[in-house]
Amino acid sequence: MRRCDEASCREPQPFLQLWQHVKAAESFQGARPGYVFKVDQHGLGYYLDPVQVNRSIWDDVVSKLPETWRDTPHREEQLRVSEQQSCGLSMSHSDFGFVVDKVEDEPGQKLQKGEAIVAIEGRLLAGLSAPQMQASFQKRRVEGARLYVVDLAKAEELSRRDPNIIEMWDPVKQHNYFFHKKTGKSAWTLEELQPAPSTSTSSASAEKRKADATSQAPIDIAHFMQHGFAKQKEQPKKKAK
């Protein structure tokens, strides 16, 4: 995995905001996705609603994640950048995004070793090459940039899981359970739904070895000790008179 430390992530580029924060309006003209109609410091109009924006951004990020680990629990954090333009992170490239290897005391990120940053400000990092991931992170690496974080171990576990097995919630038992979409079976543990190792092939091989062993002629120990695996010489057949 390629590393991205402070030396390679030191010069952030300004991130271009994609939304206009205020849209003036003399009256309510219907709901607008991502905005709330109100009177604020710029007068009456539609103001950007951070709650809606964050929700829509994350929904867009999730829709682009691989289906196998799309349901990995996530959380949102804000990036901190010091006056020296340092984010105090040492990270490695992976298929899941930037993996946090080390967090310095300053400026103090709310991240832990072993977590993966799958997106920053709506830009998906998972699946990018190391140079693309580093460039995308640098471009958006400013104070307050929104990070979308998952537990790497959980994401890796889900990526190896049978895609037909989904995790669900039992409201009666107040407990998670697993459901197999193809077989229709459910279980409290994932292992119960995982396919058991196939024994048909190994059983057939064992039977074949057993049959071969019984069909072979018994070994002459005395000959083996003297000649090894060399075949015994056949006695010359007597000529018929």
67-107 pLDDT, tens digit each: 888 888 888 888 998 888 889 999 999 999 999 999 999 99
Query: Which residue bears the tokens 């830009």?
Result: 123
Q: Examine the domain organization and report whether 137 and 45 are in the same domain.
A: yes
In a domain, 97, yes or no: yes
As beta bridge partners, residue 43 has: 40
Average pLDDT, the chain: 77
Amino acid (1-letter code) at residue 185: K
In a domain, 201, yes or no: no
Query: Which residue bears the tokens 């990526």?
Result: 159
Q: Examine the domain organization and report whether 184 and 98 are in the same domain.
A: no
Q: What is the pLDDT of residue 101?
A: 95
Interacting residues of 65 by C-beta distance below 8 A, sequence separation 6+: 118, 124, 126
Amino acid (1-letter code) at residue 194: Q
In a domain, 166, yes or no: yes
What is residue 18's three-state secondary structure? coil
In a domain, 205, yes or no: no
Whether 100 contacts 110, CB under 8 Å? no
DSSP secondary-structure letter at 124? E
Q: 168-213, pLDDT tens digit by residue?
A: 898 998 888 889 888 889 998 888 887 765 554 455 555 655 555 4
In a domain, 131, yes or no: yes
Return phi, psi of residue 175, to 5°: -150, 150
- What value does the CA radius of gyration of the chain take, rounded to a whole number of Å? 32
In a domain, 20, yes or no: yes
Q: Rounded to two decimals, what is the model's pTM?
A: 0.55
Question: Any idea what the Cα angle at residue 28 is, between residues 26 and 30, rounded to 5°?
Answer: 140
Query: Which residue bears the tokens 């010359």?
Result: 236
Q: Examine the domain organization and report whether 59 and 35 are in the same domain.
A: yes
Question: Quick one: which of 126, 135, 151 has its CA closest to 64?
Answer: 126
Whether 149 contacts 117, CB under 8 Å? yes
Percent of the chain with pLDDT over 70: 66
Domain range enclosing 169: 162-192
Determine the average pLDDT of the residues in 1-10: 48
